[in-house]
Amino acid sequence: MAKTAQGAALDRKKLMADPIMVTTIVLLITFLTLFILYPLAILLVDSVLSDGHVTLKIFQRIFTDPTSNFPTAITNTLRVGFVVGILSTIIGLLFAYVEVYVRMNKIAGGLFKVVSMLPVVSPPFVLSLSMIMLFGKAGLITRFLLGIYDNDVYGYWGIVIVQTLTFFPVCYMMLKGLLKNIDPSLEEAARDMGASRMKVFTSVTLPLLLPGLGNAFLVTFIESIADFANPMIIGGNYNTLATTIYLQITSGYERENATAMAVVLLCITLAMFAVQKYYLESKTAATLTGKASRARMLIEDKSVTIPLTILCALAAIFVIGMYVCVPIGALFPTWGYKLTPLTFKWFGQVFQRYHGLKAFKDSFVLSLIAAPITALLSMIISYLVVKRKFKGKGFIEAVSMLAMAVPGTVLGVGYIRGYSQGLFHTGALSFLYNSAAILIIVFVVRSLPTGTRSGISALRQIDKSIEESAYDMGADSFKVFMTVTLPLIKDSFLSGLVTAFVRSITAISAIILLVTPSFLLITVQINEFAEKGAFSIACAFATILILITYGAVLLMNLVMKFFGTSRKLKEED
């Protein structure tokens, strides 16, 4: 105990002797408090405070008032989230199992990689556009190929299908890593005792994977119930909680109702996030420790490999086809009525008639400003969490990760309630509202958890003696971070930079409530044209946006290939 107290005192003394580090910590805590905790806290306060008194009447009203549509919306949201979570986990497991356990040809492997990357570089509602254009009443497949004129893709099943196709690659990437960490000797021992492949899977593989499956389900469930864009475009009259909150603010002007609904949605996602983060992740880590002891013998039995590979390849081709439909849809003269001759006029009208140049400029500039801020903040937080000991470290880690559990719509409502009249309605910082700064801050906050997790993983692989030698030579914390730590994790920094840019330029759920006519953002324009049924112009906007994001990812891969840390390590070997 004495040694522990002495060590803690020494850490405090070192910290207080480093004014740059102390200033960084104070500024970081201030930023996280103002732009993550405060908007959520003000939501909670506003939802239970009326005329200076604590009351639950707002919650009572949204549950009892038929005009609020809340009971239906929350039932719909949970129903969609549960089904999407199950379907995404099952399909993700199938893809992951085939990739890790089955010997595939290179074409199938390439399809898998494309499917895993497409949701990253695409706006969140692209598949909704494709679903309507392919299977709607004027759909390419339903109307022109099958002659079906009354098919309705809007509603519950439309949302479920689109969200499942959007989110299952997340489960696939998560479960692929877990399956690779299962020691093959456990499964081969069961096979040597006469167990069939199905028996090995159900009695050995699946029990080891159960915490990971629960983790994947909850991540998808949270993504589904927080999703705004897909239900807004393809939901029709099937309202979810995210769309109901948006409509309460934009149409009904019922901000009190919207606040209470946002609190309910926040509580659901926080509860799910807590279970996923602090229970299932630890259970997964405890069950699957380290890497497999040796290479796995891949399944080569054609009775297994051919059906599974064909099934997954067909699913991958269908998903890729849905994404390809977007640029094709932008070439049709009038969608649903006249499909030939193909034309580029919509791409021209994007810039000539629909202020496309301003939309792309505003989105690009704001995202370009937010990306380096996010990447640098993520690396600083990661450095403090992994490499430094001080009071408040747990607060910084928890709050920076909290944004991952907050739906964009909820965050948008929090910023409206928190900054439209200034801090605590005093007018302080009210200048942020309706400004470019608040959009940049939202972009930073939304991308911060992803960059932080990547930075923490990278920093845990660096021996602390490397930095300690720099300190011993008289360098301060800023010098050590910039000249020693950051170069060692520059791959994570570059990855965080591009991820933040892509997430920012494709964001919609939080910023759609905060954007003003002064700023035209691409995703808001796409959403607006899709709601009007102008699918060709929406596809033209979306196609250009996909090209921008794909170009950013491609550029990052090239930079990391030629200048990244991994290349230097290969050269040294």
Maximum mean pLDDT: which of 28-42, 206-220, 420-434: 28-42
pLDDT value at position 337? 58
Q: Which residue ranges make up each domain of the chain?
A: 70-329
pLDDT value at position 573? 46
User: Tokens 């080569």, residue?
Assistant: 300
pLDDT surpassing 70 at residue 572: no
Residues of the chain above pLDDT 70, percent: 89
Question: Per residue in 129-143, pLDDT tens?
Answer: 889 888 888 777 887
* CA 197/CA 301 separation, integer angstroms: 11
User: Tokens 């000539």, residue?
Assistant: 352
The more confident residue out of 286 and 278 is 278
* CA 393/CA 401 separation, integer angstroms: 13
Residue 409 has a CB neighbour count (10 Å cut-off) of 29
What are the distances in angstroms from CA 178 to CA 172, 220, 547, 555? 10, 16, 32, 29
Task: Give the contacts of 341 (CB within 8 A, at least 6 positions apart).
Answer: 333
Q: What is the DSSP letter of 491?
A: H
What are the distances in angstroms from CA 59 to CA 71, 268, 412, 561? 11, 15, 20, 54
**Nearest Cα to 393, choosing from 6, 70, 138, 11?**
11
* CA 225/CA 93 separation, integer angstroms: 21
The more confident residue out of 87 and 173 is 87
- Residue 437 identity (one-letter amino acid): A
Residues of the chain above pLDDT 90, percent: 16
pLDDT surpassing 60 at residue 208: yes
* CA 308/CA 195 separation, integer angstroms: 20
The superfamily CATH assigns to domain 70-329 is MetI-like (1.10.3720.10)
* CA 293/CA 186 separation, integer angstroms: 11
Strand, coil or helix: 296: coil
What are the distances in angstroms from CA 455 to CA 405, 439, 462, 489? 19, 24, 11, 7
Strand, coil or helix: 533: coil
Q: Is the pTM of this model over 0.95?
A: no
- Residue 444 identity (one-letter amino acid): V
Q: Which two tokens stand for residue 555?
A: 């550029």
Question: Per residue in 228-272, pLDDT tens?
Answer: 989 999 988 899 999 998 888 877 557 778 888 898 998 988 888
Question: Per residue in 367-422, pLDDT tens?
Answer: 999 999 999 899 889 888 887 777 888 888 888 888 888 888 899 889 988 898 88
pLDDT value at position 9? 62
Cα-only R_g, the chain? 25
Which residues lie across from 70 on neighbouring strands? none
Q: Which alpha helices (DSSP H) does 122-228 contain, by range? A: 126-135, 156-180, 184-192, 197-200, 206-226
For all residues of the chain together, what is the average pLDDT?
82
CA angle at 554 for the pair 549 and 557, rounded to the nearest 5°: 130
- Residue 372 identity (one-letter amino acid): P
pLDDT surpassing 90 at residue 80: yes
Q: Which strand (E) or helix (H) includes residue 27? A: helix 19-32
Mean pLDDT score, 80-101 = 91
